[in-house]
Amino acid sequence: MARVLFVQDALFESFGPQLLSAVLKRAGHECDLLILACERKGALVERLRRLRPHIAAFSISSFGFSWSLEAARAAKSEVNAVTVFGGPHPTFAPRFALDPAVDLACRGEGEGAMLDLANAIDAGGDARSIPNLMFRGDGELRLNPLRPLIEELDGVPFADRSLHFAYKALRELPYKRFLVGRGCPYACTYCFNKAARTMYAGCGRYVRHRSAENIVAEILEVRSRYGIGTVGFADDCFTTNKAWLLGFLELYRQEVGLPFTCLTRANEVDDEVAEALGRSRCRFASFGVEVGNERLRNAILDRRMSNEQIATAAGLLHKNGVKFLTYNMFAVPGETADDGLETIRLNAQIGTDLCGTSIFQPLVGTDSYEYCLREGYLDESYSVEDYDRITLGSPLAKMPDRVFLERLQKLAFLGVHFPRLIPLVARLARLPLDPLYALLFKISLALRFKVRFQLSMRDVIRLGLHSRGRFG
């Protein structure tokens, strides 16, 4: 059997390692997880020497991944482990696989590729012909063909939560997350879904759902084993397939009945959907406003929705007793100070219960990245490796109001929840009090986590110390 050590930097549940571990363990392989943020210095080397894994595995996004390369180098030097990387960044920025610390990287779904890799290592075979994997060969990038998408998701074993729940801070959280499907039908320019659909053309149905019975069985199993206070459905678009949704929510209401959170889109919320969400105890539905200016939202971000649709969805959710959180971006290409204030006003107008804000970041591999390069907002040296830097500011040039918008992102919650303060917020965003604004934003973020996920302040503080903003 092969021994696999998954390594991640921050304290948060990652579905990638959990799903891969479930598949690997079912085939007789061994899996373990190390969360660097929760361990003392030197723990990685100690764990490597003790477990002597054949494979060191990393699931990474495009934000702040340099830690994983350092850990991979340690795995190679200490125990000669094969290092394999998966997740959005290797998939959509494949030149990452040319780094000497990377033996193999996986494009797209990893269950089949990871199982084939573990089997090959166990049998002493060659792993370089495995579909979905890519690697460095003669100084060039070699990409193997993609295998078909997993269309029957009920055949995938339940996520192996024992990996992350070995850490008490995650195990004891009342909020537990679940996936109901895979894929998104939309083409937002800042997201990888359009590129993923293009990559997987001809490889099967891209948007898929598990059966209602399969999801409910997993929830009941997790509740029995670990306890659940609130269920979190983490899919990008929980409400995309209306017929599936209504059937699932009715079964969920009858068999589970726990409060839950989900993500939706304003254009998908009608009377029937809002009523079903309320009846089945949806505590919070989250959706993207992104920007208040319709031209920026639709021409630059390709969100394909109007302010009227957003306001209608908000009214229907509140009518049915469902609170909602909105996601908003600041410093979008071409955005002005007035546009930023328009975003705050729209959120205040629709009565947002919680307001999430971020700085726009054009990820390599997305249409937004190509647009920003083409229009001179970025140069080719742009990198998202420095997670702390990119969460505080914008990388875009040619933005006269960039600093104002960066500050507005951190102060927006004041104007959204106290609309009379919007003129004051506009004046404050002109003042160089950035450490104060950063502190206010961190406090608002902690309070948002507490309210949305029904966490204790102890949980919020513990997650804040180790999660680097990745929770939720």
State the amino acid at position 435 in one-letter form: P
Using pLDDT thresholds of 50, 70 and 90, give the confidence band for residue 384. low
| Predicted confidence (pLDDT) at residue 388 exceeds the cutoff of 60 | no
Residues 73, 136 within the same domain: yes
Question: Residue 413: which CATH number?
Answer: 3.20.20.70
Total domains, the chain: 2
227 and 358 co-located in one domain: yes
Structure tokens belonging to residue 397: 């040039």
- Label the pairing between strands 55-59 and 3-8: parallel
Select the more confidently predicted residue: 164 or 470: 164
Residues 6+ apart with CB under 8 A from 142: 128, 134, 135, 136
Does one domain contain both 128 and 205?
no
Assess whether 186 and 135 both reside in one domain. no
Same domain for 101 and 188? Answer: no
pLDDT tens for each residue of 43-70: 999 999 999 999 999 999 887 788 999 9
Q: 129 and 198: one domain?
A: no
Beta strands in 229-308 (DSSP E): 230-233, 260-263, 282-290
**347 and 411 both lie in a single domain:** yes
Tens-digit pLDDT profile for residues 18-47? 999 999 999 999 999 999 999 988 999 999
Residue 158 resides in a domain? no
Domain identity same for 128 and 186: no
More confident residue, 109 or 465: 109
pLDDT given for residue 427 in this prediction: 98
- In-domain check, residue 166: no
pLDDT digits (tens, 9 = 90+) for 122-159: 998 888 899 999 999 888 999 999 999 999 999 999 99
pLDDT, residue 382, reads: 75
> Would residue 95 count as lying in a domain?
yes
Does the pLDDT value for residue 243 go beyond 90?
Answer: yes
pLDDT at 385: 61
| Per-residue model confidence as pLDDT tens digits over 310-320 | 999 999 999 99
> Does the residue 104 lie in any domain?
yes
Per-residue pLDDT of 291-305, as tens digits, reads 999 999 999 999 999
Q: Is residue 160 a part of any domain in this protein? A: no
Q: Are residues 8 and 133 in the same domain?
A: yes
Burial class (CB in 10 A: 0-12, 13-18, 19+), 93: middle
Task: Print the domain residue range for 309.
Answer: 174-454
Inter-residue contact 127 to 120 (CB < 8 Å): yes
Q: Strands 208-209 and 181-182, how do they pair?
A: antiparallel
Residues 448 and 342 placed together within one structural domain of the fold: yes
Q: Assign 470 a pLDDT band (cuts: 50, 70, 90).
A: very low
Q: Is the pLDDT of residue 290 over 90?
A: yes
The enclosing domain of 81 has a CATH number of 3.40.50.280
Task: Provide the percentage of residues in the chain whose pLDDT is more than 90.
Answer: 85
Give a yes or no: residue 81 inside a domain: yes
Q: What is the per-residue pLDDT across 404-430, written as a single tens digit (0 to 9) for each? A: 999 999 999 999 999 999 999 999 999
Q: Are residues 64 and 189 in the same domain?
A: no
Q: What is the pLDDT of residue 389?
A: 57
Residue 316 in domain: yes
- Nearest Cα residue to 248 out of 183, 180, 182, 177: 180
Band the pLDDT of 472: cuts 50, 70, 90. Answer: very low
Q: Please give the mean pLDDT across all residues of the chain.
A: 93
How many other C-beta atoms lie within 10 A of the C-beta of residue 179? 19
Helix residue ranges, H only, 146-211: 162-165, 168-171, 193-199
